[in-house]
Amino acid sequence: MTTGQRVVVRELAEDPRAAIEHSFALEPMAPPDPATLGAADVIVEVRSASVGWVDLIMSSGQYQHLMQPPYTPGLEYAGVVRWVGPDAGDHVAVGDPVLVDGLLAGPRSLGAYQRWGGWASYAVAPAAAVFRIPGGLSFDQACNLLGNYETAYHALVARGRVQPGETVLIHGASGSTGLAAVQVAKILGATVIATGRSAAKLAVVAAAGADHVIATGDRPLRDQVKALTGGRGVDVVHDGVGGDISLESLRCVRFGARYLIVGWAATPLVADGKGRRGAPNANLLPTNLIMMKGLDVLGCPAAISIAHDPSLRPPRFAQVWRWATDGLIKPYVSHGFAIEDYAAALRARWSGDVIGGCVLRPGPATAATTARS
Ligand SMILES: NC(=O)c1ccc[n+]([C@@H]2O[C@H](COP(=O)([O-])OP(=O)(O)OC[C@H]3O[C@@H](n4cnc5c(N)ncnc54)[C@H](OP(=O)(O)O)[C@@H]3O)[C@@H](O)[C@H]2O)c1
């Protein structure tokens, strides 16, 4: 194994834009030394690591899981196994193409493997977190699988109990979690109404299976949703955007609908800079509408829920894995960059250029590319 490189967040910034300009740095990285690793550890040479919204907002402490700098970002990654400890089992071997479970290794995990983020030439993970890539997915697709589709499963299945024939309104449908939710809702037999700010991005959402797409800002959301549902309103809202669209959505639902709170991409500054708590809360829902419409408002934190109830994970993981193995879900990745171009990748994520996934590809320097997997 030769010397590589990794991205490091040196200090948390005031907000994500300041973080992109000042907090990240690229530095040389010696390959991990097997003599210092555990007997059930695995060394992965990273080929592709996702650049997620969470990686971005984490760098200014705007994410609930607060990292202490310096740390290497990269919640999810995929690559080639380069070393396997003697007690790692036989489910992976040197040379295998693998993905790593971001809840067990990397910045979103808890404990010893948190420091091995995927924006690096190499990472170390416990064997229990390392899996051969299913369903012929590419490295770029594999590092956009578990987090996004497990979140979609948690929201739509575990929390939302979406039934065949129901209508689901999905906001932020061009995003990583939104596009996964579109695909999962279709697998569940729902009719999908997807929203977004860009017609070009919504064309991809439609190609991914959405039955109807709505460009927000064209006409009042309520009129468009009511027209598509015969005046009735939707059964379920999947909201990863927050802010104004949440308020509008409460007027687009049938009586007794489920309102799934997945995120707040439109109002990301929840901390008062550098992770200090106390910023004004931009996401407030009116209780009078919730009461009069008999709504079930359901928070859907995919990772936090596991910490409280580990039994939620095995069926969720197994179902996502089956769908991927059977070719029913395929993450869409609109942007890929060499690791040297991490700032361009972060800017693309922040400015909303990305559709679905964005990845960094560590290793030998290559020109930044825009690829579609
Ligand atoms: N519940 C969970 O467990 C969980 C897991 C992962 C992420 N999340 C959260 O879910 C939210 C979405 O995450 P993601 O990974 O899907 O993010 P993403 O890939 O960046 O997608 C967010 C989407 O929201 C839309 N959007 C609408 N208004 C926006 C605005 N003002 N600024 C930015 N985007 C806006 C964008 O679509 P258009 O450009 O087409 O409008 C964008 O594609 C985030 O808040 C994230 O923290 C929650």
Centre of ligand 1 to C-alpha 16, Å, is 14
pLDDT at 230 over 70: yes
57 pLDDT tier (thresholds 50, 70, 90) = very high
Mean pLDDT computed over 191-206: 97
Angle, to 10 degrees, between the axis of helix 146-153 and the axis of helix 176-187?
50
363 pLDDT tier (thresholds 50, 70, 90) = confident
Question: 326 to each of 134, 156, 322, 329, 368, how far by Cα in Å?
Answer: 9, 20, 6, 8, 31
Q: Give the pLDDT of residue 279.
A: 86
pLDDT in tens, 313-343: 999 999 999 999 999 999 999 999 999 999 9
Q: Is 174 in the pocket of ligand 1 (CB under 6 A)?
A: yes
Q: Give the pLDDT of residue 282.
A: 81
Mean pLDDT computed over 256-266: 97
Q: Is 151 in the pocket of ligand 1 (CB under 6 A)?
A: yes
β-sheet bridge partners, residue 213: 194
Separation CA 360–CA 337 (nearest Å): 5
Ligand 1, atom 30, lies closest to the CA of 266
pLDDT at 109 over 80: yes
What is the rounded average pLDDT for all residues in the chain? 95
Q: Give the pLDDT of residue 372.
A: 37
Ligand 1, atom 11, lies closest to the CA of 263
Using an 8 Å Cβ cutoff, are 245 and 171 in contact? yes
pLDDT in tens, 59-107: 999 998 889 999 999 999 999 999 999 999 999 999 999 999 999 999 9
pLDDT in tens, 136-182: 999 999 999 999 999 999 999 999 999 999 999 999 999 999 999 99
Domains for the chain: give ranges and CATH numbers: 4-145+331-361 (3.90.180.10), 149-306 (3.90.180.10)
Alpha helices in the chain (DSSP H): 16-22, 53-58, 139-142, 146-153, 176-187, 199-207, 221-228, 244-249, 287-292, 302-308, 313-325, 342-351
Q: Is 316 in the pocket of ligand 1 (CB under 6 A)?
A: no
Q: Is 85 in the pocket of ligand 1 (CB under 6 A)?
A: no
pLDDT at 345 over 60: yes
Give percent of the chain with pLDDT exceeding 90. 91
Question: 152 to each of 7, 181, 250, how far by Cα in Å?
Answer: 29, 5, 21
Using an 8 Å Cβ cutoff, are 215 and 200 in contact? no
pLDDT in tens, 3-26: 999 999 999 999 999 999 999 999
Using an 8 Å Cβ cutoff, are 356 and 332 in contact? yes
- For the entire predicted model, the pTM comes to 0.96
pLDDT at 303 over 50: yes
Tokens at residue 12, please?
């948390």
3-state secondary structure 228-257: HCCCCCEEEEEECCCCHHHHHHCCCEEEEE
